[in-house]
Amino acid sequence: MKTTQQGIRQHYEVLIIGSGIAGLTYALNLSELAPNTKIALVTKMELSASNSWYAQGGLAAAPDESIALSSHIQDTLASGDGLCNSMAVNTIINAGPEAIAALIKYGVKFDQNAHNLPDLVKEGGHTERRIYHYGDTTGAEIIRALTHAVKQLPNITILEFHTAVNLITSPQLAIPHFKPDVLGAYVLENKTGLIHNLLSKVVILATGGAGKVYRYTSNPDTATGDGIAMAYRAGAHVSNMEFYQFHPTLLYHPTQRNFLISEALRGEGAYLRSPRNNERFMEHYAPEKMELATRDVVARAIFNEIENDEFNFVYLDIRHKSREFLQQHFPNIYQTLMKLGIDMHTEMIPVVPGAHYLSGGVLADVEGHTDLSRLYAIGETACTGFHGANRLASNSLLEGVVMGKLAAQASLKDLEKPLPNYSAVKLWDSPSTVNTRRASQINAHWRGLRGEMTSYAGIVRTHAGLKDLLQLVRLRKAIVEEYYWQHVVTQDLIELRNIILVAELIVESALNRKESRGGHYREDYPQHAVEPRESMLLAGKS
C-alpha cells in the first residue's frame, strides 16, 4: 500500500531538539535574554522524558573558592586520562557555583544537612565531597523544576511526541570543503505519521547520548544518538566516539531493565564483592582507591571478574549501613529493590556494568558552535573535550547547565542575522510503501546490533573483533538504508537508522585508536601510547 507522509511548513527562530537538562537550560536562558524569540522545543516523548531525568547521583560543583575549584579541575583532568581540553574544563568547572544558583532560582531543591548547608556527597574519582543531590533522584528533581519553568513561557512551543528525522541544509555548492547552512529539520509527528518542515535561524542539538547501541544500558530507550547521526549526515565533524563510558553498577535482574545503582553508594562506603568467594576484588585492580576508582577502572574490573567466573554479575554490599541511613540517602533505590524482593540492608545487590555515557559526539566548543553554520550541539550530544577519554562522575549535569547558558548567549548573534533563504527547501516528498512483515524483519536488527556491539565493542576490545564488527555493522546499515528510502518512516526506523550510524562511528574510532585510554580498552594494545593524541575526527558526509 502506498502512502504519503507530507506535513506542513512551520517557521521559528530557534529549533531545540531534545528536552534534557541542556535543552531546557538553553530555552530558559534564551527566553531571559530575548523573551520574544519564537522557540520550538521538540521531544520524542513527553517533555520530562530524557536521560537527565534518570540521573541519580547528582551534579558536581565545587564551592566558589580557588582551592576547591582547582581540586575539581584536577580530578576532571585525571579522570579524562590525558585527553581533556583544559580550556573547556576550566570554563565549565569555574561556572559551577553559578550553575547551582541558577538551578535553585528555577526551583530545584537540593538536600541540606542539619546546619542548612548543602549535603554534599562523594563519588568515584572525586577527592572531595562536591556532589549536590536530591536524595537519589536528582535528575528527576532538576527536570521537574526546569519543565515547570519552560511551560510558563509563552514564546516556547512544546512539540511532544515528535521525532527529528534529518537536518535541513542549504543547497550543496561545487566548492571544495563547502559546508552548508543548517536551516531547520524534518520532524515526524509520531501520532499522525506526518513529517513537517520546521524552519529556523538556529538549530540546537540537545538529544543526549546513545546507550541503546549496547545491550545493557542505564539510558532510556530514547537514547539513540539522534543528534550525532543527523549532524554527521549533514556534514558536521564528530570526535572521541571510541570513549563510551560504562557505569560499573547497573542492577542485574530479569525483569527490571536499565535501573542504575548510583555511584553514591560506593561514595558512602559500599563494597564490591565476588559472588564466588565474597572477596573485595578491587584490591587486585586499584588497591589505593578500591571501589572509588574512576568508572573505567571499576567497570573493567567487574567485567574481568564476570568473564573469569561462572556468575553473570558481582555483588554490591552496603549491608553495614543502617536501614535508616539507606532509606534516607537512597529512597528510590531502596524502595525499588524492596519491590523486587531485595532488601539492601540485609542482602547484597547483584550488579553488572552497562553503557552509561558517550564522552564523544558532535565536535563543538563550550558555547556549542559546531563546524556547520547555525548549528549548535550541547550536553552529551557535543564533544568539547571536557570529559576527555573518561567522564568524571556527576560532571554531565554541570556541563548541560553551563553549555545551555553559554550557547544561549552565543546564538544571539545568529538570531540577529537576516533570515536564511528557505525558498529551495521542499516539503517532505517520499511516497512510501507500508509493509508490515518487512518492517518487523527490519526491526529485528535492533537485537543483533546491540548484542554485537556489547560483545565486540564493549568494555574490552580487540582489532580482530572490531574489524569483524565493522563489516557486520556496515551490512546492517546498507539493509536499513535501502529500506528507509522505500518505506514509511516511523520512530523505530529513525532510531534504528541513527543508532547503526553511531555504531559505525564508534567502531571506526575504536579501530583507529591503537592504545588503551579512559573508556577505550584494547586488549591487544593494553598500554597508553607514549604521547596522548587527539581522537580521530570523522568528517560528516553531507
Positions marked catalytic:
295
Owner of C-alpha cell 576547591: 68
Angstrom distance (rounded) from CA 201 to CA 365: 19
For 133, the 3-state DSSP assignment is: coil
16 within 8 A of 26, measured Cβ to Cβ:
yes
Measured CA distances, 84 to 122, 191, 239, 505 (Å): 22, 42, 13, 20
Give bridge partners of residue 11 from the DSSP assignment: 199
Angstrom distance (rounded) from CA 523 to CA 244: 16
Which residues have CB under 8 Å from 288's CB, separation 6+?
Answer: none
Burial of 439 (0-12, 13-18, 19+ CB in 10 A): middle
For 470, phi then psi, to 5°, come to -60, -40
- E strands, 405-482, in order: 432-433
Cell of residue 195, nine digits: 513529517
407 within 8 A of 368, measured Cβ to Cβ:
yes
Q: What DSSP designation does 399 have?
A: H
Cell of residue 304, nine digits: 574481568
At position 111, the amino acid (one-letter code) is: D
Owner of C-alpha cell 509563552: 154
Owner of C-alpha cell 523544576: 145
Measured CA distances, 525 to 32, 300, 513 (Å): 50, 15, 9
Angstrom distance (rounded) from CA 482 to CA 473: 14
Q: What is the 3-state secondary structure (H, E, C) of 25-90?
A: HHHHHHHHHCCCCCEEEECCCCCCCCCHHHCCCCEECCCCCHHHHHHHHHHHHHHCCCCCCHHHHH
The tally of CA atoms less than 13 A away on the side-chain side of residue 266 is 29
Angstrom distance (rounded) from CA 40 to CA 13: 8
498 within 8 A of 205, measured Cβ to Cβ:
no
Bridging pattern class, strands 39-42 and 156-159: parallel
Cell of residue 412, nine digits: 544571539
For 22, phi then psi, to 5°, come to -70, -50
Strand order of the β-sheet with 244-251 is 244-251, 349-358, 314-317, 271-273
